[in-house]
Each structure stands twice: as structure tokens, then as C-alpha cells.
Structure 1
């Protein structure tokens, strides 16, 4: 019998949590998230990195942060002081943000959003702002209800619609294809590979 691997999962937002839960399941290992930490912003994760590092000695930690505007993942790791970590802590970076992983399943997202797959970039990690690109794609959708849920109202101060996390989370849980997304997202592929060997 395969022994469950109990971990703490640290992410920025609700969408990142759903993505990582799907990725953990996809590894084929028996991951159990005992402690999910949704930190509501990359700054909060950065401020708490030392705390996670120390806590990982009692419970292994998997941390996912968005690259955002930092030039590359190795630079972010150096800036955060997470280059050399104990084997009980895994630190991964989504390039440039978790929405790039969502868009990387081009066929799946196109079907969800009611748009042609050709409208979706084959290299979502090269986009300057994947979240904005995702919102813009849905804005052009034939599915007006979905657009109302994911796209902010005209003149709104917020960058996303009222049901953004709920609807995208539902898509990820029910339809997002990890293997298909890995083919278009190197940072996702590296994350899956590392999760398959973490704590072995």
C-alpha cells in the first residue's frame, strides 16, 4: 500500500489552490493536503518564506508563487532567498502567473470559453499578463453569461468579474487537462516532474 504524503500547500489565491490540487492528483502519488494556505498575494508569501521553511521540518511544504514581472524564476528564487532549501520544502514558480497554466490547455479552455482554439496563444508563458489575456478572451466569448461572470463591468476598479475564481476553479476541477497543459507550459511541466520525486 502506498503511504500518503501529507503536506502543507502554500499558494497566492483560490485559483492557484485548485490548480495545484489537480496537479498533485495528476502526479499519481498519494498527496494529502493537511494544511492549505491561501495567502492572498505574492507579497504575503514572500514575507512568510522563512516561516514555511522552518515549519517544513515538521510537515513538508509545497509553495507556488507567480513570477509576475520578475525576469525569471532563478532570479526570483535568489531575491527571496530560496535557492538552497531543505528536502522538506518544494518551491515552484508559475510563469508568469497561474492563468498561463489554465490557458496552456488550449482545446479545453477554448471549449469552456466558447472561442476558437486558434485565438489562444500556444506559448502562454510568453504573455506579459496572462490574467488580462484570459479576461480579454472571455470578453469576446459567445457565452454572454460566462463573460458577465469573469469580465469586470465597464469602468470597474477591479480587474476580474464577480465569479472569476469560482467559475475558473470549476473549469480546472472538471475539465482542465494537465497533460495537454504541460505541453504548452514548461513551468507546469517542471512542477509536475518535481512533485513526482519530492520527498522520495
Structure 2
């Protein structure tokens, strides 16, 4: 029987939360998320990072943020002042966004989006904007209902459709393959590896 490892989980958005729940379950280490914190953007995580470091001494914290337009994860860590962390805090960076992790299961995503698998990028972490790429792929989908749910209306000020988080979260929970995604996403594979050894 695996002893539960209670943690706080800090993420940018709902999709990142669902992805991390799946990642935590994959490690088979009995992770139990006592405090899920969806911070609604990278700026809010950065602003509160010192608070998480301090709070991790009472309850271990796992933090996931997107790399976005910063050159590399070590530079982001340096800019945020999180190069030297206590053992009780794990700080991970999705390259460049958590949508790259979603796209990394190419066969699964192609089936979900109703597009040929060869249209799904083989190396999603080198994309400048994985979220935009994902939306553009779904825009070309044969599934018009899915396109209406994930793609913003023409002329809309928002970058995603009305059910973007709900439908992608459902895909991740029900269909997305961790093993397939890890093969195409080095930052996901590293996150899984670190979580398998966190607090040991």
C-alpha cells in the first residue's frame, strides 16, 4: 500500500490542473492534492512564488508554469528567483505551454480533433505558440461542433472558444496517452521523472 503524499498543486489554468492530476496518477506514488490552486495566469504565479516556497515547509508544493516567450526554463527560474528551492517544493516548466503536452499525444489528439495525424506537429515543444497551433488544427476539423466549441468566433476578442477548457479537459481525462505524449515532450517526461522522486 502506497502511503499518500499530500501536496498543494499550483497551476495557471484548468487545463494544466487536469494534466497534472493525470501526471500525478501516472507516477503511482499516491499523490493527494489537498490544495489545488488555479492562479489564472503566469503573472499571478510569479507574484506569489515566494509565498509558495514558505508554505511548502508545512505542505509540499508542486508548481507548474508555462515557459511562454522566455528562452529556456533555467532562465525563467533565474528571473523568478527559484534556482535554489527547499526539498519540499517542486517547480516545473511546461515548454512552451501545457498545450504542447496535449499535442504530444499525436495519435490521440488527431482522433479527438478529427484531423489526419500527420497534421499534428511531431515536436510540439519547438512551436512558438502551442495554444494557437492547437486552435488552428481544430479550426480545420471535420467535426464542426468541436470547432465551434474550441475555436473563437470570427472577429472575437478572445483567443479560445467557449468550451475550450471543458472539452480539452475531457480529452485529457478520458483519451490522452501519457506514454505517447512523453515520447514527444521532453519537459513532460522530465516532470514525470521528478515527481517519481519528489520528497523521497
Q: Do they superpose with TM above 0.5?
A: yes
Q: Distance in 1 between matches of 2:140 and 2:2?
A: 46
**Could you report, residue by residue, the CA deviation over 1:64-94 in whole angstroms, capped at 9, with x for unpaired residues?**
0000000000000000000010000000000
Residues 1:137 and 2:137 aligned together: yes
1:28 CA drift (Å): 1.2
Q: Distance in 2 between matches of 1:28 and 1:123?
A: 27
TM-score, normalization by structure 2: 1.00
1:2 CA drift (Å): 1.6
1:119 CA drift (Å): 0.1
**Could you report, residue by residue, the CA deviation over 1:146-183 in whole angstroms, capped at 9, with x for unpaired residues?**
00000000000000000000000000000000010000
Structure-2 residue corresponding to 1:182: 182
Structure-2 residue corresponding to 1:101: 101
Query: What does residue range 1-200 of structure 1 map to in structure 2 within 5 Å?
Result: 1-200=1-200
Query: Per the alignment, in what secondary structure is the counterpart of residue 92 of structure 1?
Result: strand
Specify every segment of 5 or more residues in structure 1 that has no aligned partner in the other structure, as ranges.
none
Query: Per the alignment, in what secondary structure is the counterpart of residue 18 of structure 1?
Result: helix
Q: Distance in 1 between matches of 2:2 and 2:112?
A: 35
Specify every segment of 5 or more residues in structure 2 that has no aligned partner in the other structure, as ranges.
none
How many residues are paired up? 200
Query: Per the alignment, in what secondary structure is the counterpart of residue 33 of structure 1?
Result: strand
- Cα RMSD of the aligned pairs, angstroms, is 0.3
After TM superposition, where is structure 1 displaced by more than 3 Å over at least 4 residues in a row?
none
TM-score, normalization by structure 1: 1.00
Query: Per the alignment, in what secondary structure is the counterpart of residue 184 of structure 2?
Result: coil
**Could you report, residue by residue, the CA deviation over 1:28-78 in whole angstroms, capped at 9, with x for unpaired residues?**
110000000000000000000000000000000000000000000000000
